[in-house]
Amino acid sequence: MNLKSFVRDIPDFPSKGVIFRDITPLLKDPKAIEYAKKALLELLGNVKIDKVVGMESRGFFFAPMLATELNAGFVPVRKPGKLPYDTIRQDYSLEYGTDALEMHSDAILRGDKVLVHDDVLATGGTAKATCELIEKMGGEIVQCNFLLELDFLNGRGKLPDYDVKSLLLY
């Protein structure tokens, strides 16, 4: 199956000159979802995973499915103030300013084998901050995997210590 045929290009979104890669056509097609899920699992191989961490919000599409298939827990990483229990926080730099991510303080146990998943790897800031949160809690990142990667933004460059895999490259 050609997954790229399920990704729609939206020119000038969110700003002029940007081409947004819209995965909602893929999400409308159950066969494409199943194919993408299986392909993401194949990127991982036969490795034991304890937790799958997904980043807000589009990482929430596939991360719970991957967790179910791997018999692992799902851990959401969210913007500040969105999680109801005690959290840990990781600040990170943006092109113009800073942002932060939070995770529940009991989400990762020391020694947990962790798969980090998001829909898109762009500049790598969110993925790097997520990895830092996991490592603060004593988790071991087995892989960072993505549905698609905007390789011209060199997000991998922020993740040199991790096994980074993507299904689709743009």
Known active-site residue 58:
yes
Cis check for the bond before 14: say yes or no (omega within 30 of 0): yes
Structure tokens at 15: 């700003």
* Catalytic member of 42, 69, 89, 95: 95
CB 93 within 8 A of CB 84: no
Which parts of the chain are beta strand (E)? 8-11, 19-22, 51-55, 73-77, 87-94, 97-104, 113-121, 140-149, 164-169
User: At 78, is the secondary structure helix, strand, or coil?
Assistant: strand
Known active-site residue 8:
no
* Catalytic member of 8, 21, 58, 78: 58
Please name the residue ranges forming H helices in the chain: 24-27, 30-44, 59-69, 125-136
| Angle, CA 17 vertex, CA 16 and CA 23 arms, to 5° | 95
- Enzyme catalytic residues: 58, 95
